[in-house]
């Protein structure tokens, strides 16, 4: 079999908020994008659920879908696809996944561009190539990755909304009723006192046999705060402490990991095995969290195997992913030995359900792994049209 890529289509999708945008505590830098209005380090966020879909078609008529994690400025990765990566993919055999990944990275690595938007854009194409491969061979992607270790994935819910401790605790109760026995709490971003109050309230209500607990600091803690929170999390028997310190501080993460019992988890900002290698080998990352929409299936598998060699568990990071990104993460999670737990983010997934037909499903806090060829996701382009803000096609 020697098929060829004939065209690449790119859809920038922005799901607008359904209600009134709450502007309290936010400093808007454009009509859509904002940062937290505080002295804490803040990433930029959008009021929309934004993503980029990549549709790859071959000369045999087989279509594959990929998704890029692009919660802000999706036009950047779309431009890289349009002018650089998509033209490179034309005429290539999408079955040669590893070769194409390395070829794409090689085009810019000597200039230092081995991360960020370039690798994000590569991930979208890579996922689509694997979708094509599975459909061409009539197999689910996990079967081509070595076969499944499991047919269900235990999930933790990562969206626990609420402006204060009371509201968030009420939502933890709701999630427990829905079948989740693990949640991740995101920092309020206003110092350790409020975060500790919420974590202690959850643990007072649900002990470690009833609810696994994780905490994501988004890189906002000072060293002092990280040690205080880390020791408290250890007392609570938390599963992991995610991104406690600023993302450049690998040595700080290593020292913290040595000092507390709770595992330090890192991965959201990292790209490729070359970056993960330094974090894993130094002991700075005790749980790895690569993101499918930033690493792709090919590199995610290599990161998982690298972590396995150091006896480090794998818990994929997911944020504003829609069905394609979720499905790709599910297939990788099913096919690796060191899988720990799956991050379930329901918001964008539910909002995009009108145009996404996915064969995976959630049952009482577990994802059932699909068996359809490829990723097991179909996109209704007609139904998606209202959410598409930009579209283009690159063809031979």
**Is the separation of the CB atoms in 100 and 37 below 8 Å?**
no
As beta bridge partners, residue 11 has 53, 391
Catalytic residue among 83, 84, 186, 218: 218
Whole-angstrom distance, CA of residue 243 vs CA of residue 263: 11
| Residue 236, CA distances (Å) to 265, 268, 288 in order | 17, 24, 21
Q: How do 212-216 and 182-186 pair as beta strands?
A: parallel
Cα–Cα distance measured from residue 126 to residue 142, given in angstroms and rounded to the nearest whole number: 15
- Which residues sit opposite 183 in a β-bridge? 157, 213
> Active site includes 218?
yes
| Radius of gyration in angstroms for the set of CA atoms belonging to the chain, rounded to a whole number | 20
Read off the DSSP letter of residue 107.
T
- DSSP calls for 25-86: TEEESSSSEEEESSSS----EESSEEEEEEEEEETTS-EEEEEE--SS-HHHHHHHIIIIIH
Q: Which residue spans within 48-202 are E strands per DSSP?
A: 49-58, 63-68, 152-157, 182-186
Q: Which of 317, 321, 326, 331 is catalytic?
A: 317
* 317: β partners: 291
Rounded distance between C-alpha atoms, residue 115 and residue 217, angstroms = 22
Paired residues of 344 in beta bridges: 157
Q: Could you tell me the end-to-end alpha-carbon distance of the chain, in angstroms, rounded to an integer?
A: 20
SS3 for 149?
coil
**Residues recognised as catalytic:** 218, 317
């Amino acid at each position: 079999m020697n098929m060829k890529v004939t065209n690449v289509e790119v859809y920038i999708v922005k799901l607008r908020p359904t209600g009134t945008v709450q502007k309290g505590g936010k400093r808007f830098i454009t009509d859509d994008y904002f940062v937290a209005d505080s002295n804490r380090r803040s990433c930029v966020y959008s009021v929309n659920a934004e993503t980029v879909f990549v549709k790859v078609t071959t000369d045999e008529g087989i279509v594959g879908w990929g998704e890029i994690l692009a919660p802000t400025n999706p036009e950047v990765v779309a431009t890289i696809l349009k002018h650089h990566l998509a033209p490179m993919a034309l005429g290539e055999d999408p079955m040669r996944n590893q070769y194409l990944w390395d070829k794409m990275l090689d085009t810019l690595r000597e200039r230092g561009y081995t991360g960020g938007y370039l690798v994000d854009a590569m991930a979208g194409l890579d996922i689509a190539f694997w979708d094509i491969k599975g459909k061409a061979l009539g197999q689910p992607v996990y079967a081509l990755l070595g076969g499944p270790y499991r047919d269900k994935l235990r999930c933790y819910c990562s969206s626990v909304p609420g402006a204060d401790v009371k509201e968030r605790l009420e939502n933890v109760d709701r999630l427990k009723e829905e079948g989740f026995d693990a949640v991740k709490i995101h920092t309020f971003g206003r110092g350790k006192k409020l975060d500790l109050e919420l974590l202690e309230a959850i643990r007072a209500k649900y002990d470690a046999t009833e609810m696994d607990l994780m905490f994501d600091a988004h890189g906002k803690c000072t060293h002092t705060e990280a040690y205080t929170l880390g020791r408290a999390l250890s007392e609570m028997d938390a599963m992991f402490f995610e991104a406690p310190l600023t993302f450049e501080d690998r040595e700080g993460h290593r020292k913290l990991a040595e000092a507390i019992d709770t595992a330090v988890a890192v991965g959201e900002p990292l790209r490729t095995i070359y970056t993960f290698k330094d974090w894993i080998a130094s002991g700075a990352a005790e749980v790895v969290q690569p993101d499918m929409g930033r690493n792709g299936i090919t590199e995610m598998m290599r990161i998982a195997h690298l972590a396995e060699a150091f006896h480090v568990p794998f818990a994929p990071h997911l944020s504003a992913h829609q069905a394609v990104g979720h499905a790709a993460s599910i297939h990788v999670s099913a096919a690796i030995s060191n899988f720990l737990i799956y991050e379930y983010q329901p918001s964008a997934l539910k909002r995009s359900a009108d145009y996404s037909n996915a064969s995976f499903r959630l049952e009482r806090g577990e994802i059932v792994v699909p068996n359809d060829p490829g990723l097991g996701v179909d996109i209704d382009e007609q139904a998606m049209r209202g959410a598409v803000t930009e579209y283009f096609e690159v063809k031979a």
